[in-house]
Amino acid sequence: MEAMKPVQHSVAVVVRPPVDDTEAAGAFLVVRRPDDPADPLRGAWGLPAVTVRDGEDERGAVVRAGRVKLGVELAPGRRIGEKTVDRGGYLLRLADYEAVIVSGEPGVPQPDASITQYTACRFTADPAVLDEAAARGSVCAQVFLADLGEHQVDPA
């Protein structure tokens, strides 16, 4: 019988601008990963993500991601979806959540060098910015884009 692979449980966050910003309807925050040669997603635009800690629930991890990755306070919202993929030595189980910034302005990189920090961030309303990361294996981008495909409204 094959030994079970360890599971890395992570969350990614579709960060929406503050609710009083009506010009940003449909916008979400994307972050650029560092140019680390060992990272298959190096330099790609994606969603901020963290690994869920022991004893932490997914919503708590979403709040922590806002603090340690972006320097903002997030209010977690809808759980968008989840996907599990085999990463060779482990299984990655990742869930995407929507969240709204309740205080602060997102900025990167943040001072915690013990975790992956991003090199740039910006709001966009164009989900196609995640196509490259999704094609390169970004689970968070795949979950978000699949959800959009299921929820797109036909303009006709």
Which residues, listed in sequence order, are joined to residue 81 by a DSSP beta bridge? 96
Q: Which of 16, 42, 39 is nearest to 27 (CA)?
A: 16
Average pLDDT estimate for 100-111: 94
pLDDT at residue number 77:
97
- CA 117, 121, 125, 131 torsion: positive or negative? negative
Domain definitions of the chain by residue range: 7-151
User: Lowest-pLDDT range, 12-21, 24-33, 86-95?
Assistant: 12-21
pLDDT at residue number 4:
87
- Over the stretch 39-77, which tens digit does the pLDDT of each residue have? 999 999 999 999 999 999 999 999 999 999 999 999 999
7-151 folds as: Nucleoside Triphosphate Pyrophosphohydrolase (3.90.79)
User: Contact 80/144 with Cβ under 8 angstroms?
Assistant: yes
Q: Containing H/E element for 93?
A: strand 91-103
Q: Which of 93, 114, 104 is nearest to 9 (CA)?
A: 93
pLDDT at residue 154 tops 50: no
- Over the stretch 10-24, which tens digit does the pLDDT of each residue have? 999 999 987 665 566
Confidence class of residue 156 from pLDDT cuts 50, 70 and 90? very low
